[in-house]
Structure 1
């Protein structure tokens, strides 16, 4: 089941349109708009699944710390976006998050947990900022924030579910391969091919 969920997420990563997630359009009420925003762009999906995958690859305590750090820091990035605090290169940072996290998985990089948290938290700022700047004016900001935090958590869980396969030799290969696909997706977005 976990591999099916992950495969579905990867297929979605390559078929979703990034521009959809960055259009600023609201889909329903505040919660619905926030919930759908991360899942309507493959750049967000790839990076958020990668956080769960890398956490699972690293094992405890990273498997739980990284998926908590990301939405917490992402919320601060969203506030910066809502307030209009300028942060440069948001789309580049989002694309780089998929590239870097994917590479960490491919090469089984295992830095100290605080380094992992800094890497994940740094990229979370870019994702949160994108969510914050694209807050539809007609929705409740709190409900919107709850929606994008919940969907982010679910994307992390998809990554963790697939990442649990690292317990077996073939599973480690599959997880590292998924990291390669995520890094490739980030490169595609970074170069503007998609």
Structure 2
């Protein structure tokens, strides 16, 4: 099976998992394993982080680490706000909205887009990442150092998967098709989560 065909089948399979809550079975936890698992067990976090990697690979392939590093730095800042007890409004709806926005950025982005649009997209990625970090922090209890290391590592892996997928297909004829399909699937997944939360 060719990669684009496999990806086309992956989208519908991902959609089947979305009726589950965005954070199934999440209880307050601490330690490296709790931090590692948090981004992987929340569909909203997982889709958003893969989308950032996809966007980076399709839109900024020569500076592919800019978007993931922006996300991770802002996410760390959001986590610090959460651990400091600083409340942010609409964190969960904002996280779900980030999935839609990141999907749309992936769907519509391109290497020829304006510098202004790329900077606005990076700003958007950073602002939403603050909400992701805040949500991660509120799930932690006890020693937060290993937990922080865990969710940062999982985030980096998810970004890397998105980048790898984008760079693998970007040079082929199917590159734009895969970009559009993956962006649309992620945005649709976010919309589905939004409807489920309503």
Q: Please say whether Structure 1 and Structure 2 have the same fold, judged by a TM-score greater than 0.5.
A: yes
Q: Cα RMSD (Å) of the superposition?
A: 2.6
Looking at CA atoms only, which structure, 1 or 2, has the larger radius of gyration?
2
Q: What residue is the counterpart of 2:126 in the other structure?
A: 121
Alpha-carbon offset, residue 149 of structure 1: 0.3
Structure 1: which 5+ runs fail to align?
A: none
Decide whether aligned partners of structure 1 residues 52 and 153 sit closer, same or farther in structure 2, where only a CA change above 3 A counts: same
Q: Which moved more, 1:168-177 or 1:109-118?
A: 109-118
Q: Which moved more, 1:107-116 or 1:120-129?
A: 107-116
Decide whether aligned partners of structure 1 residues 10 and 116 sit closer, same or farther in structure 2, where only a CA change above 3 A counts: farther
Alpha-carbon offset, residue 25 of structure 1: 3.5
Report the TM-score when normalising by structure 2: 0.84
Q: What residue is the counterpart of 2:178 in the other structure?
A: 174
Q: What residue is the counterpart of 1:186 in the other structure?
A: 190
Q: Does 1:52 align with 2:53?
A: yes
Q: Distance in 2 between matches of 1:121 and 1:78?
A: 13
> 1:81-101: CA deviations, max 9, x gaps?
112211101111111111011
> 1:145-175: CA deviations, max 9, x gaps?
0000000000001100111112122122012
Q: Does 1:77 align with 2:82?
A: no
2:52/2:162 contact within 8 Å kept: yes
Q: Distance in 2 between matches of 1:6 and 1:51?
A: 19
Q: What residue is the counterpart of 2:145 in the other structure?
A: 142
Alpha-carbon offset, residue 108 of structure 1: 2.5
Decide whether aligned partners of structure 1 residues 61 and 183 sit closer, same or farther in structure 2, where only a CA change above 3 A counts: same
Q: Distance in 1 between matches of 2:40 and 2:108?
A: 27
Q: Distance in 2 between matches of 1:158 and 1:119?
A: 21
Report the TM-score when normalising by structure 1: 0.86
Q: What residue is the counterpart of 1:19 in the other structure?
A: 23
